[in-house]
Chains A and B, each alone.
Chain A
């Protein structure tokens, strides 16, 4: 009987060890979920905060709808905010080896060659906009928000160059490993970057033809790759 109890105890200890979640395992789960998906669509909003000399927060917001298919590899981004970018569409079509940009002000579709530097992977192996998870000391806890149980990962930077800019970050993830919100704080513990994900859908049978269909426009082909740098100021936080 004692032997059996010992075995049960060892087995349950082993099980609890196996199923204990760590911040890295949560990030890995998101990564796995993303990697095994045939297609993903989501809305994403990024806000960068800067501060006036009086300390007033000056947020710069960018919103977009992202749709991605793994095979054929296609990524489409429809910008919805700010107003200056609203209606702008990017398309990376790895199968056809082309990138397209639809510009609403000129009603033109600029088509350019696809280059290997333009990646269409939506990855969570690193923390979005921040860097590798190994550069942070991560802590995991479970929280409840609006009757929904969530994972909350808190990260404190370890590298001196990160410490110079950030004090900590908070990453909220649903129990089925869908990212909800990432908030990064500057050295004065004020919000610096906030990323919100919503309407995340995995394997909703996105059609390659629908992603490739752009609004009407004059097609202009250029030999050099598209410059896809977005003009939002993702720089060091104001001190």
Chain B
């Protein structure tokens, strides 16, 4: 009941603030899944300037009858986030979903942040993972700074409780962004130390991407120690790389190809990750989107994810209406989703 009051109150505040805003976004979606029931989601955010904004979302699932929420308040010196959210702090925790809160303090170009709650590794769009309850208690204390224009540094210490033992992670991420005509080049390197059972485990990741117009080349190469908790696309013990190339076939058809190879040092397994995603702008008001991801595990545990969406853009693309079907096939389970999403950025 308290949750509902908080959420309702936040929506009333958001809608009632009528003075000039800079931009905002509203999203309504529903998805029915063969294994996980039906989800309803409504979200709204408003920004008055680069560092002054409010947002809220509610997610309801018919199977577990749970209401999850997400609230954030951003001000020039303070950010408060509460509920279920993706913190996106660095590459090694890129797929962390946290049910808890975040407090950030801004001093000049510095951000000092503290997060606490229960986390899990998940990937947006994949029903089998988005319906997992975050269950790893963790706390993160970190510092992020910008120096000499386009260089970013993030340091953090994470403590997590797994199997009733407290483990610690120290992480350094360095990012350099170079502006190019019609795009940018982004280079990132990250080093991670994980303290478990008095042993120090070392992991490293290099990431690079170049985007010019509709051309995009992205890739990473990395190693995640087998004893380190995985909260990214690398599984525990993975050593390998992934490359993706977005290269338009014409001014209407935009495919993106990806290929990856990983050797898992923990389970002694070889994995090949293949993907293709394509968008076809049939008309100004119709866009067809298809996606296939095939993860081949040479020991037989294959995984396939497919998605087909019919999108109906309106208002110069500021409004995006989508109908889609998704299918996930694992070695021991499969599920199918039908969904609808309306989003409007104003």
Residues of A within 8 A of B (CB): 79-88, 101, 103-106, 210, 213-217, 219, 221-224, 227-231
B300 at the interface (CB under 8 A from A): no
Complexed CA–CA distance, A106 and B149 (Å)? 21
Complexed CA–CA distance, A82 and B318 (Å)? 23
Pick from A214, A227, A230: contact of B317, CB below 8 A: A214
Q: Enumerate chain A residues within 8 angstroms of B23, measured Cβ to Cβ.
A: 219
- Given A213-B316, A216-B345, does the pair A83, B211 have CB atoms closer than 8 Å? no
- Given A105-B216, A224-B149, does the pair A214, B316 have CB atoms closer than 8 Å? yes
Across the A-B interface, the 8 shortest Cβ-Cβ residue pairs: A215-B317, A86-B251, A83-B248, A105-B216, A229-B181, A216-B345, A85-B213, A213-B316
B320 at the interface (CB under 8 A from A): yes
Q: Enumerate chain A residues within 8 angstroms of B343, measured Cβ to Cβ.
A: 216
Complexed CA–CA distance, A99 and B320 (Å)? 24
Whether B316 lies near A210 (C-beta < 8 A) is yes
Q: Enumerate chain A residues within 8 angstroms of B249, measured Cβ to Cβ.
A: 83
Q: Enumerate chain A residues within 8 angstroms of B320, measured Cβ to Cβ.
A: 216
Instruction: Identify 21 residue pairs between A and B in the complex whose beta-carbon atoms are under 8 Å apart, listed by A's number.
Output: A83-B248, A83-B249, A84-B212, A85-B213, A87-B281, A105-B183, A105-B212, A105-B214, A106-B211, A213-B315, A214-B316, A214-B317, A216-B317, A219-B47, A221-B50, A223-B149, A224-B149, A227-B182, A228-B181, A228-B182, A231-B182
Chain B, interface residues (CB within 8 Å), range: 20 to 34
Pick from A84, A213, A217: contact of B214, CB below 8 A: A84
- Given A85-B214, A224-B149, A231-B182, does the pair A105, B316 have CB atoms closer than 8 Å? no
Whether A86 lies near B316 (C-beta < 8 A) is no
Pick from A86, A213, A227: contact of B179, CB below 8 A: A227
Whether A215 lies near B318 (C-beta < 8 A) is yes
Whether A103 lies near B213 (C-beta < 8 A) is yes
Whether A103 lies near B318 (C-beta < 8 A) is no
Complexed CA–CA distance, A161 and B290 (Å)? 52
Q: Enumerate chain B residues within 8 angstroms of A231, measured Cβ to Cβ.
A: 181-182, 212
Q: Enumerate chain B residues within 8 angstroms of A210, measured Cβ to Cβ.
A: 316
**Which of B250, B251, B252 has the most A CB atoms < 10 Å from its CB?**
B251
CB within 8 Å: A-B pair count: 89
Q: Enumerate chain B residues within 8 angstroms of A219, measured Cβ to Cβ.
A: 23, 47
Chain B positions 66 through 86: 1 when the CB is less than 8 Å from some CB of chain A, otherwise 0: 000000000000000000000
Which residue on chain B has the smallest CB distance to residue A79? B213
Q: Enumerate chain A residues within 8 angstroms of B254, measured Cβ to Cβ.
A: 87, 104-105
Whether A88 lies near B181 (C-beta < 8 A) is no
- Given A83-B214, A106-B211, does the pair A215, B250 have CB atoms closer than 8 Å? no
- Given A210-B316, A214-B318, A230-B181, does the pair A103, B248 have CB atoms closer than 8 Å? no
- Given A103-B182, A104-B254, A229-B181, does the pair A84, B215 have CB atoms closer than 8 Å? yes
Pick from B25, B248, B281: contact of A84, CB below 8 A: B248
Complexed CA–CA distance, A228 and B183 (Å)? 9
Complexed CA–CA distance, A229 and B250 (Å)? 22
Not counting A103-B182, A216-B318, A224-B179, a sample of 14 additional A-B residue pairs whose C-beta atoms are within 8 angstroms of each other reads A80-B251, A83-B214, A87-B214, A87-B254, A101-B182, A105-B183, A105-B212, A105-B214, A106-B183, A214-B317, A215-B316, A216-B320, A222-B179, A229-B182
Complexed CA–CA distance, A106 and B211 (Å)? 7
Whether A84 lies near B216 (C-beta < 8 A) is no
